[in-house]
Amino acid sequence: MFYDKAKIYVKAGIGGNGVVAFRREKYVPEGGPNGGDGGDGGSVILVGDRGLRTLVDFKYKPHVKAKKGEHGQGKGRHGKNAEDNILKVPLGTIVRDFDTNELIADITEDGQRVVVAKGGRGGRGNARFASAKNKAPSVAERGEPGEEITLFLELKLLADVGLIGMPNAGKSTLISVISAAKPKIADYPFTTLKPNLGVVSVEAGNSFVVADIPGLIEGAHLGAGLGHEFLRHIERTRIFVHVLDMSPAEDKNVVEIFNTINKELVLYNPKLADKKQIIAANKMDVPGAEDNLEILKKEFREQYEIFSISAVAGKGLKPLIGRISQLVEEIEPEPLHTEDEIKVFTEPLDRFIIDREDGIFVVKGKEIERHFAMTDFNNEEGVKRFQRILKAMGVEGALLKEGINYGDLVRIADLEFEFVE
């Protein structure tokens, strides 16, 4: 089965906790803090892999987590950083935030790495907090939580050339004879149930990648046939080769068929109308095909290059392949997305915000919640340090401006406390 869409939940690892420890050595009269830092949690990283073709791995593993960092230890020993969780994806994978639909990445290069969830920083041990005023601190940080996000992955195949046309026009046969691709071929509609990729080698030693897109019929952009499932895979191609069945039939109008397919492309994405397109008039070995070819040339000779071929008989393929190769060299690939469209992860301008919920003052914000998560509230000195952080960040002053009174309740994350002087 061909899987080109996936929804996955990823969570980076939490950082290890810092530790409170002191030197207890013979002949060392002063001693001192020597609690080590916790290790960083592992990140979740997507990496482009040219050897993959589908997103099937994520069908069976929709939840991905990275490991947490190790806790610090005494004698200044730091915890080990956790390994990153590397997820390989096929080239052409577009990554979006499932909840906001914001574009995070477009993975088009082999080895391209995108950190989609950053691991939490390890907490600092008490050795980090020693100062001239406090030579024996008994406070250490907890590990920072790792980021978590639900992603929507969508594969849009990387191919230089897209074969388009009605079912049974001969697209699968054509790709099978010009490349090493082995698609299913039969004499009934919708034989091809997934896009096929093939590499075509030319005499000069160059090559190009062809994609056979199945199931285009009238109404494809609305979901008719199979086209709506696979139209996304032609968005990256540089040129279209429109394969038309020239064999005679009473109700066949090759001009209408050609226009129908092109209309579906434009309705799906208007930008597709700007792509270079050539016509492969197929099945020319069938008696009576010449009549349809004359009709086609009369209508489109001035607009499109038309190549007479028989994919089954292997006739007329060399001029077609030569022209495709030339066009691939001439036409530069266009990125689907600009850099401006890609989401840039930055700290919010507001370090925190204050809301009122049922009479409670609720303090929210990524930075303040990170400090909260890294505070050990079972440690009195840790609590006092958190209070100093609130004051330094301006939370106390902001609450007073919002009209808080001493004794009112304040909530940060899942902790509620009274506001006192």
Which CATH number goes with the domain that contains 142?
2.70.210.12
Residues 150 and 170 in one domain: no
Exposure string for 51-77, b = 16+ CB within 10 A, e = fewer = ebbbbeebeeeeebbbbbbbbbbbebb
The pTM score is 0.75
State residue 181's pLDDT score: 60
Residues 177 and 243 in one domain: yes
Please indicate, yes or no, if residue 339 is contained in any of the structural domains: no
State residue 150's pLDDT score: 96
Domain that residue 377 falls in: 353-418
Q: Report whether pLDDT(127) > 50.
A: yes
Residues 168 and 309 in one domain: yes
Cα–Cα distance measured from residue 404 to residue 398, given in angstroms and rounded to the nearest whole number: 9
Question: Which of the four pLDDT bands, split at 50, 70 and 90, describes residue 333?
Answer: confident
Question: Which of the four pLDDT bands, split at 50, 70 and 90, describes residue 186?
Answer: very low
Please indicate, yes or no, if residue 302 is contained in any of the structural domains: yes
Mark which of 106, 123, 155 sits at the end of a domain: 155
Please indicate, yes or no, if residue 336 is contained in any of the structural domains: no
Residues 123 and 254 in one domain: no
Looking at the DSSP bridge assignments, the partners of residue 240 are: 162, 277
Closest CA to 123 of 82, 44, 69: 69
Query: Which of residues 190 and 22 earns the better pLDDT score?
Result: 22
Question: Which of the four pLDDT bands, split at 50, 70 and 90, describes residue 183?
Answer: very low
State residue 192's pLDDT score: 44
Query: Which of residues 381 and 215 earns the better pLDDT score?
Result: 381
Phi and psi angles of residue 264, each rounded to the nearest 5 degrees, phi first: -65, -40
pLDDT tens for 73-103 read 998 899 999 999 999 998 889 999 999 999 9
Mean pLDDT of 195-219: 73
pLDDT tens for 230-273 read 677 778 888 999 999 999 887 789 999 999 888 888 888 888 88
Mean pLDDT of 213-222: 56
Cα–Cα distance measured from residue 21 to residue 36, given in angstroms and rounded to the nearest whole number: 8
State residue 85's pLDDT score: 96
**Lowest-confidence range among 115-129, 284-298, 302-316, 345-359?**
345-359
Burial of 161 (0-12, 13-18, 19+ CB in 10 A): buried
Q: Report whether pLDDT(22) > 70.
A: yes
Residues 117 and 186 in one domain: no
Give the CATH number, domain containing residue 204.
Answer: 3.40.50.300
Please indicate, yes or no, if residue 165 is contained in any of the structural domains: yes
Q: Report whether pLDDT(412) > 90.
A: yes
Cα–Cα distance measured from residue 277 to residue 165, given in angstroms and rounded to the nearest whole number: 12
Q: Report whether pLDDT(200) > 80.
A: yes
* Token representation of residue 275: 């792509």
Mark which of 155, 185, 200 sits at the end of a domain: 155
Residues 32 and 149 in one domain: yes
State residue 148's pLDDT score: 95
Closest CA to 9 of 92, 54, 66, 56: 66
Q: Which amino acid is at 93?
A: T
pLDDT above 70 covers a percentage of the chain that reads 86
Please indicate, yes or no, if residue 346 is contained in any of the structural domains: no
Query: Which of residues 190 and 341 earns the better pLDDT score?
Result: 341
Q: Report whether pLDDT(398) > 60.
A: yes
Please indicate, yes or no, if residue 81 is contained in any of the structural domains: yes
pLDDT tens for 148-181 read 999 999 888 778 898 988 888 888 889 888 886 6
Closest CA to 315 of 278, 280, 287: 280
Q: Count up the domains in the chain and report the number.
A: 3
State residue 179's pLDDT score: 83
Residues 322 and 405 in one domain: no
Mark which of 330, 361, 385 sits at the end of a domain: 330
Mean pLDDT of 316-333: 90
State residue 78's pLDDT score: 95
pLDDT above 90 covers a percentage of the chain that reads 49
Residues 191 and 265 in one domain: yes
Residues 199 and 302 in one domain: yes
pLDDT tens for 28-45 read 656 789 999 999 999 999
Give the CATH number, domain containing residue 410.
Answer: 3.30.300.350
Sequence length of the chain is 421
Does residue 241 contact residue 146 with C-beta atoms inside 8 Å?
A: no
Q: On the CB side of 105, how many CA atoms lie within 13 Å of its CA? A: 22
Mean pLDDT of 21-28: 78
Residue owning tokens 């990729």: 197
State residue 190's pLDDT score: 41
State residue 250's pLDDT score: 73
Please indicate, yes or no, if residue 373 is contained in any of the structural domains: yes
Q: Report whether pLDDT(221) > 70.
A: no
Please indicate, yes or no, if residue 348 is contained in any of the structural domains: no
State residue 31's pLDDT score: 73
Q: Report whether pLDDT(191) > 90.
A: no
Residues 73 and 114 in one domain: yes
State residue 97's pLDDT score: 94
Residues 11 and 73 in one domain: yes
Residues 143 and 58 in one domain: yes
State residue 205's pLDDT score: 61
